[in-house]
Amino acid sequence: MLEIPEAIVISRQLDQTVKGKRIKEVVTAASPHKFAWYFGEPSEYDALLCGRTIEAAFSYGGRIEMPVEDAVLQFGDGVNLRYYEADEKHPAKHQLFVAFDDGSALAATVAMYGMLMAYPPHAMDDDFYYKAAKEAVSPLSDGFDYPYFQTLFDEKGLKMSAKAFLATEQRIPGLGNGVLQDILLNANIHPKKKMRTLSEEQRRELFDSVTSTLAEMTGAGGRDTERDLFGNLGGYQTKLGKNNKLLICPNCGGGVKKESYMGGSIYFCEQCQEK
């Protein structure tokens, strides 16, 4: 999934790899997917983008955006992006395929669900989620300090569990269920713990964990559960998640429990993260 670390890593790779390339052809929905979300009619993407040049690539929240002269390409959520050199074999299945005039290509596929959008500039300006992601303070920026973090503890948020507080309502766009697991483990906070029960010390520990864990994940090239633009797994070894097959806490050696919660799986150490 494209969460903050992977969005940053892949956008940097795109900026170094495809910036300046001219689009020769765009193919959409070659492999139909019920939960591949496009902007408008995907059949119009080729006319919108063909002949135009990638100007840059950057990220905000869990989204990747690429200005393409007088248009925009944007990817988010569960999109997997791969770059192929001219002499590499292209994948047979994809939800969006961008061929460049030098023979290289960019393929986007969707696993569970994902956004693959192309649109004229400012077409998304009134979209709530787009605006929230654009305007939010990144947890990896200087502006995301503890006083700012405290402003997120509104009346509604205090009634939520730790997972809901961090990963819903666009409080911290791009912080999802994937990165959430290690953040809460490092803060010694149970995913189901109600935010109103946190002490001032626990709030501070949670803030420190959000910023330090995301920085570590990003600095290592993303998580070892996700792949970058070239198909390589990230260098950050996730503590809690599908790669922890033995369900042993790396911090204390205790048992890790997996449960279904809020439409996804949560992992927690029964010793480090008391509810």
pLDDT band for position 263 (cuts 50, 70, 90): confident
105-119 vs 36-37, strand pairing mode? parallel
Tokens of 229: 């633009």
**What average pLDDT score do residues 188-204 get?**
97
Q: How many whole angstroms separate alpha carbon 192 and alpha carbon 96?
A: 38
pLDDT tens-digit profile of 60-112?
999 999 999 999 999 998 899 999 999 999 999 999 999 999 999 999 999 88
Provide the pLDDT confidence category of residue 275 given band limits of 50, 70 and 90: confident
Residue 56 identity: A
* Mean pLDDT computed over 40-46: 95
Q: For 107-124, what is each residue's pLDDT tens digit?
A: 999 988 999 999 999 999
Q: What is the pLDDT of residue 244?
A: 93
**Range 133-147 burial, b when 16+ CB lie within 10 A, else e:** beebbbbbeeebeee
Residue 257 tokens, joined: 């429990």
Share of the chain above pLDDT 90, in %: 92
DSSP 8-state class, residue 53? B
Q: Is there a contact between 184 and 205 (Cβ–Cβ < 8 Å)? A: no
